[in-house]
Each structure stands twice: as structure tokens, then as C-alpha cells.
């Protein structure tokens, strides 16, 4: 959980306002889902794809 929280801070400090806003909102929703599912990956596939795109964006920055 600590690592995920760290990613949230990085996303909020992202220089791209549009990307950072969408990522921060998604991560807030993701945290809520992870608490409900006991840190299990959520069933919907689009959320997992967004996580992969987010990691690629952070590596690019």
C-alpha cells in the first residue's frame, strides 16, 4: 500500500495538468477499489490498461 500511495503523490505532481488530473482521479478511485477488494486487481480491464499507461508516462517523464 505504501508504494501505491507514493505513486499517487507522483501523479499529482505531474507537470501535465490534464494527464495528472485524470490520473489522480483514477488513482483515488483505484485506492477505493483496492480497499474493498483487499488489494486485489479490480475486474474491469480498462482500469488495468490505464495503470499500464500511467507507468509508461511516469517512465517517460
> What are the pLDDT digits (tens) for 5-37?
555 555 455 555 555 556 666 666 666 655 554
- pLDDT interval class at 46 (50, 70, 90): low
What pLDDT is recorded for position 61?
59
Contact yes or no for 30/42 (Cβ under 8 A)? yes
- Domain region containing 37: 2-60
Q: Quote the CA–CA distance of 11 and 37 in Å, as a whole number.
A: 23
Report whether pLDDT(1) > 50: no
pTM metric for this prediction: 0.20
Q: Which of 35, 8, 31 is nearest to 21 (CA)?
A: 8
Task: Report the domain count for the chain.
Answer: 1
Mean pLDDT of 38-50: 55
What pLDDT is recorded for position 13?
54
Residue 58 is placed in which grid cell?
511516469
Report which DSSP code applies to 9: H
First to last CA, the chain: 23
Amino acid at each position: 500500500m505504501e508504494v501505491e500511495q507514493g505513486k499517487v503523490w507522483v501523479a499529482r505532481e505531474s507537470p501535465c495538468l490534464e494527464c495528472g488530473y485524470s490520473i489522480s482521479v483514477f488513482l483515488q478511485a483505484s485506492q477505493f477499489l483496492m480497499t474493498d477488494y483487499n488489494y486485489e486487481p479490480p475486474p474491469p480491464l480498462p482500469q488495468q490498461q490505464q495503470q499500464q499507461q500511467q507507468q509508461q508516462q511516469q517512465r517517460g517523464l
